């Protein structure tokens, strides 16, 4: 009996069958996602419920409602678009406008890619970098999320401890130097929970002065598990002492105002004074299963992630990880009974825990509202020699030239005149080409560079063009608010039985001039 015939492949060109298929640009359609449907159908009910809970009828802060409404207009052709045309075959493409908000995961990803590209190309000198991740106990998370001043103090204490530890290690080796850090402030956890924590990138060494007034980099030995535990003990004592001092200053204010109460309801996080003093003799760090990671009294410090000096692409991926959005659209799904399922990256809270979250639509919107940062909140902080106002900033080595993932010049750059002012950040098409390796300005028919011929914002012109292309030209209308159910409303006042432990964040403690705070360098 004859066996099966051997497989054979016909190739037009040698190696064509094994080559990867070229990726083409596809316009995103947010109206087809689960999150868009949930926000579209339940936004008015979510806002009406918040106004009913508030004693003054104010509900959530205005920026939360604004972010949700901007998200509904993002990527929708009926709200405006750019018109692209190929000069050779006259093929046209429509690209919808983006909202550039802090609720939309697509705009968040674009901002993360642009910031990571700027850090690698212009900010971070060539050196090995180590990521230090510090998380806080749940008692401090609500105040960290709503009080910018308190969060800045915690970050300052964290970096002062790390900088002093690095300089002391350099002195033990016989040299004196400086260091710096870029910190990504994340407000979320893996389960859509409110968990403000810090991702700090520090050079794994010190910048030491030379005879020609330039700073050279000297690498330090890798930290050990004992050093990480000792650092976490020092951090826990210092941060708990600062936290108790801040909370004692707020005790004279009795109640939470309506705006903070709304944020407290949507986050589900209560804040009270730490029960144990900061100088507790029995405070000891617990060694974790992961190397270079320790835990103590609700604090956690992780320092296992390191990027070599020649791995600039890995450094850019690490920056995008620290700047990522709080959630992913691909993990949302909708059940038959209207419950929203969110697939977790890993089981929560333990390896044997639940693999997904099952939330009602209003409960999901509450969680997302707690993760939206307030306006003028900087989620990227620079300290030490990496700060713009540092005297040592011009003396550190400059980073390498921008990464060239494609040797060809992007078509968009060819259209700019030589006298035009260069963009501070890469353009939209450059970011897509750099991160996803997709040329969004390439014609799908003849691969010729497409040109932007018009930006359509007139509603009448939008309707005519979309009707001609047989696309939906009507803007989606929000569903009316449903009747609020009092039995489903959360009452967090029962979590704070003692009025001394109740917190109210003082707003506008003093008159300030300008939008930028005074600079306090960390040496």
The answer to which of 23-32, 66-75, 307-316, 451-460 has the lowest mean pLDDT is 23-32
Helix (H, G, I), strand (E, B), or coil: what is residue 379? Answer: coil
pLDDT of amino acid 446: 81
The pLDDT confidence band at residue 438, using thresholds 50, 70 and 90, is confident
Distance of alpha carbon 361 from alpha carbon 340, whole angstroms: 6
The tokens describing 171, both together, are: 């002195």
Could you tell me what percentage of the chain is helix, strand and coil, using 3-state DSSP and rounding each to the nearest 5? 35, 20, 45
pLDDT of amino acid 483: 65
Q: What is the dihedral of CA 407, 413, 417, 420, to 10 degrees?
A: -110
DSSP state at residue 211: T
Using the structure block, give the residue that is written with the tokens 């826990």: 236
Task: Decide if 194 is inside a domain.
Answer: yes
The answer to which of 73-82, 382-391, 445-454 has the lowest mean pLDDT is 445-454
pLDDT of amino acid 428: 75
Contacts of 492 (CB under 8 A, 6+ apart): 261, 264, 265, 268, 270
The pLDDT confidence band at residue 56, using thresholds 50, 70 and 90, is confident
pLDDT of amino acid 213: 74
Helix (H, G, I), strand (E, B), or coil: what is residue 339? Answer: coil
Higher per-residue confidence, 210 vs 516: 210
Q: What is the pLDDT of residues 169-219, one digit of tens each?
A: 999 998 889 999 999 999 998 888 889 999 999 999 999 987 667 888 999
The answer to which of 326-330, 377-381, 485-489 has the lowest mean pLDDT is 485-489
Confirm if 169 and 176 have CB atoms less than 8 A apart: no
User: What stretches of 119-224 show up as alpha helix (H) in DSSP?
Assistant: 138-146, 148-173
Q: Is 138 a residue whose pLDDT tops 50? A: yes
Torsion over CA: 414, 419, 425, 427 (sign)? negative
Confirm if 202 and 216 have CB atoms less than 8 A apart: no
Confirm if 127 and 487 have CB atoms less than 8 A apart: no
Element holding 452 (H helix, E strand): strand 450-456
Using the structure block, give the residue that is written with the tokens 């804040």: 271
Q: What is the pLDDT of residues 239-284, one digit of tens each?
A: 999 888 887 655 433 334 445 445 545 544 333 323 333 334 445 5
Higher per-residue confidence, 233 vs 502: 233
CA gyration radius for the chain?
Answer: 26
Task: Decide if 455 is inside a domain.
Answer: no
Task: Decide if 390 is inside a domain.
Answer: yes
Distance of alpha carbon 296 from alpha carbon 274, whole angstroms: 14
The pLDDT confidence band at residue 400, using thresholds 50, 70 and 90, is low
Query: How many domains does the chain fold into?
Result: 1
pLDDT of amino acid 286: 55
pLDDT of amino acid 22: 52
Task: Decide if 291 is inside a domain.
Answer: yes
Q: Which range has highest mean pLDDT (137-151, 420-434, 479-493)?
A: 137-151
Distances from the Cα of 352 to the Cαs of 10, 349, 355, 356, 375, in angstroms?
49, 8, 9, 12, 38
Task: Decide if 307 is inside a domain.
Answer: yes
Q: What is the pLDDT of residues 353-396, one digit of tens each?
A: 888 889 999 999 999 998 999 888 899 999 999 998 888 888 88
Distance of alpha carbon 253 from alpha carbon 32, whole angstroms: 47
Query: Mean pLDDT throughout 334-351?
Result: 87
Q: What is the dihedral of CA 377, 382, 388, 391, to 10 degrees?
A: 140
Q: Is 469 a residue whose pLDDT tops 70? A: yes
The answer to which of 27-41, 74-88, 141-155, 278-292 has the lowest mean pLDDT is 278-292
Q: Is 51 a residue whose pLDDT tops 70? A: yes
pLDDT of amino acid 121: 87
pLDDT of amino acid 447: 78
Q: Is 233 a residue whose pLDDT tops 80? A: yes
Task: Decide if 344 is inside a domain.
Answer: yes
Query: Mean pLDDT throughout 49-70?
Result: 84
Task: Decide if 277 is inside a domain.
Answer: yes
Q: Is 144 a residue whose pLDDT tops 70? A: yes
Q: What is the mean pLDDT of the chain?
A: 78
Q: Is 424 a residue whose pLDDT tops 80? A: no
Confirm if 134 and 198 have CB atoms less than 8 A apart: yes
Global pTM reads: 0.78
Task: Decide if 258 is inside a domain.
Answer: no
pLDDT of amino acid 283: 53
245 CB-contact burial (10 Å; exposed 0-12 / middle 13-18 / buried 19+): exposed
Domain of residue 388 covers 124-253+271-358+371-402
Distances from the Cα of 101 to the Cαs of 72, 319, 380, in angstroms?
11, 20, 16
């Amino acid at each position: 009996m004859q066996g099966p015939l051997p497989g054979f492949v016909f190739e037009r060109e040698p190696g064509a069958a094994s080559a990867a298929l070229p990726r083409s640009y596809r316009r995103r359609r947010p109206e087809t996602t689960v999150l868009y449907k949930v926000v579209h159908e339940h936004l008015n009910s979510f806002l009406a419920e918040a106004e009913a809970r508030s004693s003054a009828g104010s509900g959530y802060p205005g920026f939360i409602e604004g972010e949700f409404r901007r998200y509904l207009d993002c990527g929708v052709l009926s709200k405006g678009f750019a018109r692209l045309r190929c000069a050779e075959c006259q093929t046209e493409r429509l690209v919808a406008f983006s909202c550039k908000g802090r609720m939309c995961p697509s705009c968040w990803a674009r901002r993360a890619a642009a910031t990571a590209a700027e850090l690698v190309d212009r900010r971070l000198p060539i050196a090995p970098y180590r990521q230090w991740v510090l998380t806080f106990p749940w008692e401090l998370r609500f105040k960290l999320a709503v009080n910018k001043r308190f969060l800045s103090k915690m970050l300052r204490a964290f970096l002062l401890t790390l900088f002093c530890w690095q300089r002391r290690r350099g002195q033990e080796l016989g040299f004196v130097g400086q260091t710096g850090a870029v910190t990504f402030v994340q407000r979320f956890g893996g389960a859509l929970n409110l968990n403000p924590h810090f991702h700090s990138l520090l050079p794994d060494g010190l910048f030491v002065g030379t005879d020609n007034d330039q700073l050279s980099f000297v690498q330090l030995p890798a930290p050990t598990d004992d050093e990480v535990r000792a650092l976490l003990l020092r951090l826990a004592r210092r941060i708990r002492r600062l936290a108790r001092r801040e909370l004692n200053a707020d005790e004279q204010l009795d109640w939470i105002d309506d705006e903070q109460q709304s944020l407290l309801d949507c986050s589900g996080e209560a804040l009270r004074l730490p029960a144990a003093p900061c100088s507790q003799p029995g405070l000891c760090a617990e060694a974790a299963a992961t190397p270079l990671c320790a835990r103590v009294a609700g604090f956690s410090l992780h320092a296992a992630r390191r990027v070599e000096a020649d791995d600039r692409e890995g450094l850019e991926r690490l920056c995008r990880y620290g700047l990522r959005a709080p959630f992913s659209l691909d993990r949302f799904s909708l059940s038959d009974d209207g419950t929203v399922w969110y697939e977790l990256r890993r089981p929560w809270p333990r390896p044997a825990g639940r693999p997904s979250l099952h939330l009602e639509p209003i409960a999901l919107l509450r969680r997302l509202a707690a993760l939206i940062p307030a306006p003028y909140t900087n989620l990227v902080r620079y300290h030490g020699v990496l700060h713009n106002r540092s005297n040592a900033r011009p003396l550190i080595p400059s980073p390498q030239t921008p990464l060239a993932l494609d040797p060809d010049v992007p078509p968009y750059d060819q259209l700019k005149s030589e006298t035009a002012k260069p963009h501070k950040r890469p353009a939209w098409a450059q970011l897509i080409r750099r991160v996803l390796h997709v040329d969004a300005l390439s014609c799908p028919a003849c691969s010729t560079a497409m040109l932007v011929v018009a930006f359509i914002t007139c509603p009448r012109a939008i309707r005519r063009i979309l009707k001609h292309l047989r696309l939906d030209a009507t803007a989606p209308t929000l569903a009316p608010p449903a009747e609020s159910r009092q039995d489903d409303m959360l009452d967090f006042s029962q979590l704070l039985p003692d009025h001394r432990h109740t917190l109210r964040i003082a707003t506008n403690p003093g008159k300030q001039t300008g939008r930028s705070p005074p600079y306090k360098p960390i040496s």
